[in-house]
């Protein structure tokens, strides 16, 4: 069994356990950040699963999976890949993808119609759908937009068309790509497949919340039709050929023209505020004005399923997967045929979820799978561990109306309410508050799952965010990756075992405590805030960061945001790529032959930082998808 393989690595490295005990000892006594303090230490050291959690990755044996030479940290305004690799831009924000769309004009004066035919801003999660040997579709999220770059007036003189333009810079872009004879890739500007999905595209609400009173608005008395998707963070892909786009910080687009508007506890839990965050959508589009339409926000914060092969298809919001600030949707088909989707809610102290479909996947009839995400059961994770332990057991707690206290008396009238207010349902059942769950990735061959917990400055400081288990550090600046093995290798099982694959940290600034990171973190590979992750077919775990790029103090020596590759069996981690100034690296997908990797560079030059990526010179920085190849055409990472 896979877990035993990992355990073998841990046992082999048990010799390092005493070092780790010292680390924990100091961490506990100096900082007092592990629950129970000194009294718990005996238990902690006796059981010491930390030794396995961290030692599994201690001084890793040379990885057979990782075949490239690690690169150093960088503060350069460029995308750097290892020796023997090359990287070229595929498409940047504003490049035309629909017939008749104009070329990008960096003045910021183009109107909403131009943007609606161009690649959206701030590329994020993406998936590749093969069409033939050398052609494919890319479906790509465009998470948000930066008004300072989008408009010539930098957002200071907004008009109704400017809001439409901003809405068109959001959403999803679908376009055809082609591999050229020399192995490089281009996008096809006029392909009939190309499509822009924006904050104004017609969509259908499906599942338990569709049609519920809480989903009805003045513009849609049916509660089943909604306009658009925005703040599309990461993604998922189904084996029946559809794309999943995940709505994350949807709350930030709602505000009130009447500052005295009363907001209820549900709105507050989802971070909805009367004060505008700068988008100014409520001033020009009534459905975003909380004083005029209080329920539109209930129609956002979902996972949306899109058929990229049919540009006329209606995207479907899948309410059975719950409403929260969705990061990605990591989908797998369990051996028993059920579709399992792991889902993170990216907010400090929020939760990790799992959806299990009611129906079963039919490998012989793709059309029969089309609505598998419409009906099923949502669960939320509860992690258990003895005081100070960095591994333990966990359970998936069902979020079904009438069970686990999800009753009318506790404020849940029906299943639709449980889904619309999934965060509150998770609290009701005692789910573990996590350090910002970002992407989840399911191993392609083995029954193991990883999730990035990116960072959490509130850990240990706010009520309800106790230090311990998979969230072991107060004021967690660096983040960690938790992994779990479903009981009996069954993703639909209620129980799992967990540990930490890596605890990010800075061993040149800290020593003798967990802020130095687990022992698979060194001055050569250190990073902070792991965010995007994905396994390739061989089981390499690719890690992308969205963290502090100051390269100073706690982050000295880490440089710009970066991409790393881990061998999950040995725990070895090597730095594979570094991004340009003030970017985040997010979004990855591979060609079916694994010889091309597509990587997203988001928000280079954010907050007025000096980036001119990718064109250089004095050009405006633009979010861009990079195509990474090996000079010899070999498998990426091998």
CA atoms within 13 A on the CB side of 147: 16
Q: How far is the CB of 297 from ligand FEO (least distance, A)?
A: 18
Asked whether the beta carbons of 378 and 367 are under 8 A apart, the reply is no
User: 324, 330, 338: which is closest to 419 by C-alpha?
Assistant: 324
Report, in angstroms and rounded to the nearest whole number, the Rg of the chain calculated over CA atoms. Answer: 23
Residue 116 or 582: which CB sits closer to Ca ion?
A: 582
The partner in contact with residue 307, picked from Ca ion, ligand FEO, none with C-beta cut-offs of 5 to 8 angstroms by kind, is none
Among 162, 247, 327, 389, binds ligand FEO (CB under 6 A): 327
| Positions of E strands within 8-148 | 85-92, 123-130, 135-142
Q: How far is the CB of 531 from Ca ion (least distance, A)?
A: 4
Residue 327 or 567: which CB sits closer to ligand FEO?
A: 327
Residue 135 or 457: which CB sits closer to Ca ion?
A: 457
Among 276, 546, 567, 606, binds Ca ion (CB under 5 A): 546
Name every residue whose Cβ is closer than 8 Å to that of residue 83 and which is 6 or more positions away in sequence: 68, 69
What distance in Å separates the CA atoms of residue 110 and residue 116, rounded to the nearest whole number?
A: 10
Give the footprint of ligand FEO on residues 142-161 (CB under 6 A).
Answer: 143
In degrees, to the nearest 5, what angle opens at C-alpha 575 toward C-alphas 571 and 577? 145
Residue 469 or 530: which CB sits closer to Ca ion?
A: 530
Among 247, 435, 531, 606, binds Ca ion (CB under 5 A): 531
Q: How far is the CB of 516 from ligand FEO (least distance, A)?
A: 25
Q: How far is the CB of 599 from ligand FEO (least distance, A)?
A: 16
Residue 146 or 446: which CB sits closer to ligand FEO?
A: 146
Record the tokens describing residue 196, joined without a space: 């822009």
- Give me the residues paired with residue 310 across strands: none
CA dihedral 18, 20, 25, 27 (to 10 degrees): 170
Record the tokens describing residue 290, joined without a space: 């909380």
Q: Which stretch binds Ca ion (CB under 5 A): 315-323, 359-367, 545-553, 562-570?
A: 545-553
3-state SS class at 250: helix
Residue 240 or 527: which CB sits closer to ligand FEO?
A: 527
Give the footprint of ligand FEO on residues 412-451 (CB under 6 A).
Answer: 438
What distance in Å separates the CA atoms of residue 390 and residue 384, rounded to the nearest whole number?
A: 10
Cα distances from 40 to residues 22, 34, 49, 121, in angstroms, run 15, 9, 14, 50
The partner in contact with residue 143, picked from Ca ion, ligand FEO, none with C-beta cut-offs of 5 to 8 angstroms by kind, is ligand FEO
Residue 9 or 346: which CB sits closer to ligand FEO?
A: 346
Residue 317 or 595: which CB sits closer to ligand FEO?
A: 317
User: 70, 73, 79, 74: which is closest to 579 by C-alpha?
Assistant: 79
The CA-based diameter of the chain, rounded to the nearest angstrom, is 70
248 binds ligand FEO (CB under 6 A): yes
Asked if residue 614 has a cis previous peptide bond (ω within 30° of 0), the answer is yes
Q: Tell me which residue has its CB nearest to Ca ion.
A: 546
Record the tokens describing residue 503, joined without a space: 């605890």
Q: How far is the CB of 327 from Ca ion (least distance, A)?
A: 6
Asked whether the beta carbons of 194 and 172 are under 8 A apart, the reply is no
Q: Tally Cβ neighbours within 10 Å of residue 616.
A: 11
- Give me the residues paired with residue 225 across strands: 204
Residue 276 or 346: which CB sits closer to Ca ion?
A: 346
Cα distances from 430 to residues 269, 351, 379, 479, in angstroms, run 16, 10, 12, 23
Contact code string over 83-122 relative to ligand FEO, x by CB under 6 A: ----------------------------------------
Contact code string over 350-389 relative to Ca ion, x by CB under 5 A: ----------------------------------------
499 binds Ca ion (CB under 5 A): no
| Positions of E strands within 180-242 | 185-187, 195-197, 202-206, 225-227, 232-237
Give the footprint of Ca ion on residues 419-478 (CB under 5 A).
Answer: 438, 454
Q: Tally Cβ neighbours within 10 Å of residue 20.
A: 24
Asked whether the beta carbons of 149 and 169 are under 8 A apart, the reply is no
Residue 436 or 612: which CB sits closer to ligand FEO?
A: 436
Contact code string over 339-378 relative to ligand FEO, x by CB under 6 A: -------x--------------------------------
Among 66, 163, 233, 627, binds ligand FEO (CB under 6 A): 233
Judged by CB under 6 A, how many residues of this single chain contact ligand FEO?
Answer: 6
Q: Which stretch binds Ca ion (CB under 5 A): 102-110, 222-230, 263-271, 544-552?
A: 544-552
Q: Scanning the structure block, which residue is given the tokens 């930098």?
A: 154
Judged by CB under 5 A, how many residues of this single chain contact Ca ion?
Answer: 4
Residue 48 or 480: which CB sits closer to Ca ion?
A: 480
Q: How far is the CB of 233 from ligand FEO (least distance, A)?
A: 3
Residue 85 or 527: which CB sits closer to ligand FEO?
A: 527
Q: Which residues bind Ca ion (CB under 5 A)?
A: 438, 454, 531, 546
Binding site for ligand FEO (CB under 6 A): 143, 233, 248, 327, 346, 438
């Amino acid at each position: 069994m896979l877990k035993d393989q990992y355990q073998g690595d841990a046992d082999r490295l048990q010799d390092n356990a005493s070092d780790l005990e010292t680390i924990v000892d100091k961490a506990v006594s100096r900082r007092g950040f592990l629950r129970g303090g000194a009294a718990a230490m005996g238990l902690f050291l006796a059981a010491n699963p930390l030794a396995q959690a961290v030692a599994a990755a201690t001084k890793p044996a040379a990885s057979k999976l990782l075949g490239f030479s690690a690169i150093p940290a960088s503060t350069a305004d460029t995308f750097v890949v290892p020796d023997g690799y090359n990287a070229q831009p595929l498409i940047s924000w504003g490049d035309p993808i629909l017939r008749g769309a104009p070329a990008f004009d960096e003045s910021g004066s183009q109107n909403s119609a131009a943007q609606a035919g161009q690649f959206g801003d701030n590329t994020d999660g993406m998936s590749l759908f093969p069409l033939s040997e050398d052609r494919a579709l890319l479906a790509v999220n465009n998470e948000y937009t930066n008004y300072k770059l989008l408009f010539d007036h930098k957002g200071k003189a907004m008009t109704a068309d400017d809001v439409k333009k901003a809405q068109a810079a959001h959403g999803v872009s679908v376009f055809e790509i082609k591999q050229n004879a020399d192995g490089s890739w281009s996008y096809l500007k006029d392909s009939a497949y190309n499509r822009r999905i924006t904050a104004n595209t017609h969509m259908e609400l499906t599942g338990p919340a569709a049609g519920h009173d809480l989903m009805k608005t003045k513009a849609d008395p049916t509660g089943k039709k909604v306009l658009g998707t925005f703040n599309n963070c990461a993604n998922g892909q189904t084996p029946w050929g559809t794309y999943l786009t995940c709505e994350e910080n949807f709350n930030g687009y709602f505000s009130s023209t009447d500052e005295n508007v009363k907001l209820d506890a549900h709105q507050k839990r989802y971070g909805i505020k009367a004060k505008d965050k700068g988008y100014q959508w409520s001033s020009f589009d009534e459905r975003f004005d909380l004083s005029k339409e209080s329920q539109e926000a209930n129609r956002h914060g979902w996972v949306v399923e899109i058929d990229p092969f049919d540009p006329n298809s209606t995207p479907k919001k899948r309410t059975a997967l719950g409403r929260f600030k969705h990061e990605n949707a990591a989908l797998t088909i369990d051996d028993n045929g059920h579709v399992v989707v792991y889902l993170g809610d990216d907010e400090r102290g929020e939760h990790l979820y799992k959806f299990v479909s009611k129906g079963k996947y039919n490998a012989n009839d793709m059309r029969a799978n089309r609505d598998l995400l419409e009906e099923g059961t949502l669960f939320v994770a509860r992690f258990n561990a003895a005081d100070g332990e960095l591994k333990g057991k966990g359970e998936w707690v069902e979020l079904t109306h009438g069970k686990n206290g999800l009753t009318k008396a506790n404020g849940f009238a029906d299943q639709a309410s449980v889904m619309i207010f999934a965060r509150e349902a998770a609290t009701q059942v005692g789910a573990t508050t996590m350090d910002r769950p970002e992407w989840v990735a399911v191993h392609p061959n083995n029954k193991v799952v990883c999730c990035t917990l990116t960072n959490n400055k509130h850990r240990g400081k706010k009520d309800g965010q106790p230090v311990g288990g998979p969230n072991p550090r107060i004021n967690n600046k660096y983040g960690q990756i938790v992994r779990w093995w479903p009981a009996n290798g069954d993703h639909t099982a209620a129980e799992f075992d967990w540990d930490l694959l890596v605890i990010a940290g800075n061993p040149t600034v800290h020593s003798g405590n967990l802020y130095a990171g687990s022992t698979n973190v060194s001055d050569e590979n250190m990073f902070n805030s792991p965010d995007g992750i994905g396994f390739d077919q061989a089981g390499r775990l690719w890690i992308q960061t969205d963290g502090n790029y100051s390269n100073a103090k706690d982050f000295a020596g880490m440089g710009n945001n970066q991409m790393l590759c881990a061998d999950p069996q040995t725990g070895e981690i090597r730095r594979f790529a570094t991004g340009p100034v003030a970017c985040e690296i997010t979004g990855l997908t591979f060609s079916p032959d694994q010889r091309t990797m597509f990587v997203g560079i988001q928000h280079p030059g954010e907050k007025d930082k000096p980036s001119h990526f990718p064109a250089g010179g004095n050009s405006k920085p633009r979010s861009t998808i990079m195509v990474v190849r090996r000079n010899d055409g070999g498998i990426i990472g091998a």
